[in-house]
Amino acid sequence: MKFALLGSFCILTLFLKSNLGQQQDQSIPNSDEFFISQFFEKMGINSSKSSHFYNVSSYVCLWEVVFCDSKQQSVIGLVAPNLGLTGPMPDNTIGKLKKLQFLDLNSNQITNFSSDFWGLISLKSLNLSNNRFSVNLPTNIANFGSLVKLDLSFNNFTGSLPDSFSSLASLQVLNLNRNRFDSVIPLGMTSCHSLTYVDLSMNSFNGSLPKGFGTAFPKLKRLNLAANLISGRGFDVSKMVSLNYLNVSKNLFKGSVVEIFQGSLEMIDLSSNHFEGHISQVNFNISFDWSQLIHLDLSDNEISGMFFSNLTKAHNLKHLNLAKNRFFKQSFIQIDQLHSLEYLNLSETNIIGQIGDQISKLNHLKTLDLSNNHLAGKIPLLAFKNLINLDISNNNLTGDIPLTLLQKLPWMERFNFSYNNLTFCDYDISLETLRSAFIGSTNSCPIAANSTFFKEKLHKHRGLKLALGLAISLICLLIGLLLFAFWYRTRTRMWDAKGSCNEENIISGPFSFKTDSTTWVADVKVASLVPVVIFEKPLLNFTFSDLLSATSNFNQDTLLAEGRFGPVYHGFLGGVVHVAIKVLVHGSTITDQEAANELEYLGRIKHPNLVPLIGHCLAGDQRIMIYDYMENGNLHNFLYDLPLGVHVNEDWNTDTWEDQETNENGIQNVGPEALLVTWQFRHKIGLGTARALAFLHHGCSPPIIHRDVKASSVYLDYNLEPKLSDFGLSKIFENGVGDDLAHGSPGYTSPDDVVTPKSDVYGFGVVLLELITGKKPVGDEYPNDENWKAQDLVSWVRGLVRVNHGSQAIDPKIRATGNEGQMVEGLKIGYLCTADVPLKRPSMQQVVGLLKDIEPV
């Protein structure tokens, strides 16, 4: 504005140049020209080198730094910033410019005023910002009665601000930022009623504010008293009706915070004081316009109570800092309506419970600090797009750090996950970062055992590598997909091609994996060099690293079950084929070659009621077996956890039961859910399992004894066909602990001394009884009219069958779905199978025959 005004003087100046142009010889003593050139000269400026802003051979009003009045007679403005003016102002120079209204000497090295400086009584604007004044401000300042703007910021003014300030009745802008004033703010200042902008920040003003400070400035828009030593109780802004910026941070203010919320403040910074009071009471102050609020910092005070509910009305809030106060224990703040929020700091605010999911709605968030609270539960999804600062340290958070978040870290400026109970998996984190930002977190990556690995990771050119890797992978994937789509056109399943694409993809072991009950180690050097054999597709070059990626490094989340032999995981091999991956954890004494031979043999055993073993991987000591994934889980879950979670084929009337047997059953018309609890379906499972065992016992040479027939070994595939799993494992498992394992599971174990096929018959008998009674082999309730008390399913059913009360044992859920006589017969077959003496038990072939006799039609 000033320059616009002065600009018009310049135009006038040019216009008048022709008339006055010839007055340029030597400066006339005591002319404005003389005073100014003297000023520059004495302040160390060499005229011959500075012709661009003052050329003594041209008229003063034409000098770049000078502004004259409309008559081009008197200098009214001198704007000479950043010229290297050094030292105290000399007397008889600019102090003599009687008409001077604007003086801007900012960014020089001036150290003191001249004694005649205070004669510049016309001065309206004085800018001495960023100089080297290290003196007191004299009371003579009172001479400047017309002063509108005073900027003395960035100097070293000391002592007190003179009380004569009271004379500056026109003063609108006062900037004393960054000096060393060290007194109370003078009462005189409260006479400056025109002030609109006051910045006294970063001094050492002390004491309390002068009386009447709150009511003195009706036009004040901006008040910054930050970083002083000002004390006093409360802060009444109710009469500062124009105020929209209030910064009193880093002082010693006390008293209630409540009264500050008045009018229509946009920026409030009360941080680092001793403000107190129940913030909840702010709710009842209806004279505050929350929609104006953009910036609110109440951090580091002694405010108590609960977060204010009216905060959600602050739709335009961008910056919210409530950190370090004495709030009551409370749950996460309701913030989803604060959609403009860019900065949120709730550190040390006594929050309990979980991080609200609503936080994911804050799209603009750049900084989020929730550290030092009592937050528990998992890290919710965050809106990461703009997030560059994240601190959630010192809480009680659990679970995995979301992968999406980990991937974002390289683009973030700062993050801290320390002192929680978090797990994560990221190979690319440097040791340094681990030690600063992940203290106490668990790296659940398989290579966690040796952290030197991280050091060796390169960090440079990451983006490039990523892009390159991505491009190569994409090309490989495309070519691979095309090739294999062609080759395997006729197959129902498509395998993803891999093989040639494992450039740079070197993951090295040994690898260690944890489940709830065990830790297993795969002692392999380079994951991509350990082959996975897929029997029917020998050309596919899958490796251990494909198993790692299929199961997210054998992540607990992919764990299907923990069997007696070890954990079973599932995943998509090559990203396409859903497989179950069983790890035989307890080691084995047979050699790799023997194990491979045995597994190859098992891979050749095919039967519609056996879960096919499709491949294996020998990773160090671990024998890893790969099976088709059974979508509908095992019979144990099916019987006792149903009907929740069962996969039901949508097209199931056409696809599922196309099998001859099931068509004979005539059950196509039954709805899916109802069908799961029918005698027909239970019978079908029993018969399928019996067929599988008959095949192992009689169709294989030498016969294969399963040794662990139980409900949880019977799986249900996508089409709800029963399939027996885990056959033939004991051989691969033979070692010291083998005996213990060979005896089967509790409730299914035959009393036999020697394990024979008849031991499997016993186990099958128990499964059959489960199918008909719906009761667990042990630990269930076995109700009885008679006086005896059964300890387990077998003795209960046998007891009832023996006295012809078998029908009492039938699962009430299926009783009405079929012929009860058939069900009682089924119990009798179970009775035969569970005979104490192995010889009295029928063979599996006979069992199949018996079951077919009672097949429901």
Ligand X SMILES: *[C@@H]1O[C@H](CO)[C@@H](O)[C@H](O)[C@H]1NC(C)=O
Q: Check 391, 400, 708, 792 and give the catalytic one.
A: 708
Q: How far is the CB of 290 from ligand X (least distance, A)?
A: 6
Question: In Å, how far are 275, 289, 760 from 234, measured between CA atoms?
Answer: 8, 20, 85
Neighbouring residues of 211: CB distance < 8 A, sequence distance ≥ 6: 187, 190
50-69: b or e for each residue (b if 16 or more CB lie within 10 Å)? beeebbbeebbbbbebbbbe
Interface pattern 788-807 for ligand X (x via CB under 6 A): --------------------
Does the protein bind ligand X through residue 512 (CB under 6 A)?
no
Neighbours of 486 (CB within 10 A): 8
Region from 391-399, 659-667, 696-704, 834-842 binding ligand X, contact rule CB under 6 A: 391-399
Does the protein bind ligand X through residue 18 (CB under 6 A)?
no
Does the protein bind ligand X through residue 519 (CB under 6 A)?
no
For residue 468, give the amino acid letter: L
Q: How far is the CB of 493 from ligand X (least distance, A)?
A: 37
Total residues at the site for ligand X (CB under 6 A)? 52
Which parts of 97-116 interact with ligand X (CB under 6 A)? 106, 112-115
Region from 390-398, 424-432, 515-523, 656-664 binding ligand X, contact rule CB under 6 A: 390-398
- 150: which 2 tokens? 């005073």
CA distance 694 to 709: 13
Does the protein bind ligand X through residue 155 (CB under 6 A)?
yes
Region from 395-403, 494-502, 539-547, 597-605 binding ligand X, contact rule CB under 6 A: 395-403
Which parts of 739-778 interact with ligand X (CB under 6 A)? none
Nearer to ligand X, 64 or 631 (CB): 64
CA distance 196 to 214: 13
State which of residues 99, 132, 274, 514 lies at the interface with ligand X (CB under 6 A): 132
Neighbours of 250 (CB within 10 A): 19
Does the protein bind ligand X through residue 135 (CB under 6 A)?
yes
Q: How far is the CB of 648 from ligand X (least distance, A)?
A: 33
Does the protein bind ligand X through residue 407 (CB under 6 A)?
no
Cis ω before 510 (30° cut-off from 0)? yes
For residue 377, give the amino acid letter: G
734-765: b or e for each residue (b if 16 or more CB lie within 10 Å)? beeebeebbbbbebbbbebeebbbbbbbbbbb
Does the protein bind ligand X through residue 167 (CB under 6 A)?
no
- DSSP per position, 415-472: EE--SSEEEE--TT--HHHHHHH-TT-EE-STTTT-THHHHHS--TTHHHHHHHHHHH
Does the protein bind ligand X through residue 391 (CB under 6 A)?
no
CA distance 96 to 104: 16
- The DSSP letter of residue 26 is S
Place of tokens 């450039």: 503
State which of residues 27, 31, 310, 668 lies at the interface with ligand X (CB under 6 A): 310
Q: How far is the CB of 156 from ligand X (least distance, A)?
A: 4
Does the protein bind ligand X through residue 784 (CB under 6 A)?
no
Q: How far is the CB of 39 from ligand X (least distance, A)?
A: 14
CA distance 331 to 353: 6
Region from 154-162, 484-492, 547-555, 764-772 binding ligand X, contact rule CB under 6 A: 154-162
Does the protein bind ligand X through residue 269 (CB under 6 A)?
yes
Q: How far is the CB of 693 from ligand X (least distance, A)?
A: 40
Q: How many helices (H) and strands (E) does the chain have?
A: 20, 38
State which H helix or E strand residue 848 sits in: helix 844-853
Nearer to ligand X, 521 or 648 (CB): 521
State which of residues 295, 616, 697, 710 lies at the interface with ligand X (CB under 6 A): 295
Which parts of 184-223 interact with ligand X (CB under 6 A)? 184, 201-202, 206-207
Which parts of 358-377 interact with ligand X (CB under 6 A)? 374
CA distance 567 to 622: 12
Does the protein bind ligand X through residue 833 (CB under 6 A)?
no
Does the protein bind ligand X through residue 452 (CB under 6 A)?
yes
State which of residues 247, 301, 545, 588 lies at the interface with ligand X (CB under 6 A): 247
Does the protein bind ligand X through residue 707 (CB under 6 A)?
no
Q: How far is the CB of 523 from ligand X (least distance, A)?
A: 12
State which of residues 127, 172, 196, 272 lies at the interface with ligand X (CB under 6 A): 127
Is residue 483 within 8 Å of residue 458, measured between CB atoms?
no
Does the protein bind ligand X through residue 149 (CB under 6 A)?
yes
State which of residues 172, 249, 325, 634 lies at the interface with ligand X (CB under 6 A): 249
Q: CA 155, 161, 164 angle in degrees (round to 5)?
A: 130
Nearer to ligand X, 202 or 362 (CB): 202
For residue 644, give the amino acid letter: L
708 is catalytic: yes
Region from 224-232, 381-389, 660-668, 692-700 binding ligand X, contact rule CB under 6 A: 224-232
Please name which of 54, 48, 49, 45 lies closest in space to residue 79, comparing C-alpha atoms.
54
Please name which of 192, 202, 201, 241 lies closest in space to residue 224, comparing C-alpha atoms.
201
Nearer to ligand X, 25 or 785 (CB): 25
Question: In Å, how far are 119, 426, 819 from 816, measured between CA atoms?
Answer: 113, 56, 8
Does the protein bind ligand X through residue 398 (CB under 6 A)?
yes
Region from 147-155, 405-413, 429-437, 766-774 binding ligand X, contact rule CB under 6 A: 147-155
Neighbouring residues of 366: CB distance < 8 A, sequence distance ≥ 6: 342, 343, 386, 387, 388, 389
Is residue 88 within 8 Å of residue 115, measured between CB atoms?
no
Nearer to ligand X, 108 or 637 (CB): 108
State which of residues 23, 51, 407, 597 lies at the interface with ligand X (CB under 6 A): 51
- Secondary structure of 266-280 in HEC code, one letter for each residue: CEEECCCCCCECEHH
- The DSSP letter of residue 3 is H
Nearer to ligand X, 226 or 767 (CB): 226
Does the protein bind ligand X through residue 421 (CB under 6 A)?
yes
CA distance 695 to 771: 21
Nearer to ligand X, 262 or 637 (CB): 262
Does the protein bind ligand X through residue 481 (CB under 6 A)?
no
CA distance 719 to 661: 14
Does the protein bind ligand X through residue 92 (CB under 6 A)?
no
Does the protein bind ligand X through residue 156 (CB under 6 A)?
yes
- 674: which 2 tokens? 């109802």
Q: How far is the CB of 401 from ligand X (least distance, A)?
A: 13
Is residue 473 within 8 Å of residue 459, measured between CB atoms?
no
Does the protein bind ligand X through residue 354 (CB under 6 A)?
no
Q: How far is the CB of 196 from ligand X (least distance, A)?
A: 11
Q: Is 573 helix (H, G, I), strand (E, B) or coil?
A: strand
Q: How far is the CB of 375 from ligand X (least distance, A)?
A: 8
Nearer to ligand X, 58 or 360 (CB): 58
State which of residues 313, 564, 698, 805 lies at the interface with ligand X (CB under 6 A): 313
Place of tokens 């006390």: 254
Does the protein bind ligand X through residue 173 (CB under 6 A)?
yes
Q: How far is the CB of 81 from ligand X (least distance, A)?
A: 6
Interacting residues with ligand X (CB under 6 A): 46, 48-49, 51, 55, 57-58, 81, 106, 112-115, 127, 129, 132, 135, 149, 151, 154-156, 173, 175, 182-184, 201-202, 206-207, 224, 226-227, 247, 249, 267, 269, 283, 286, 295, 309-310, 313, 374, 394-396, 398, 421, 450, 452
Which active-site residues does the annotation give? Answer: 708
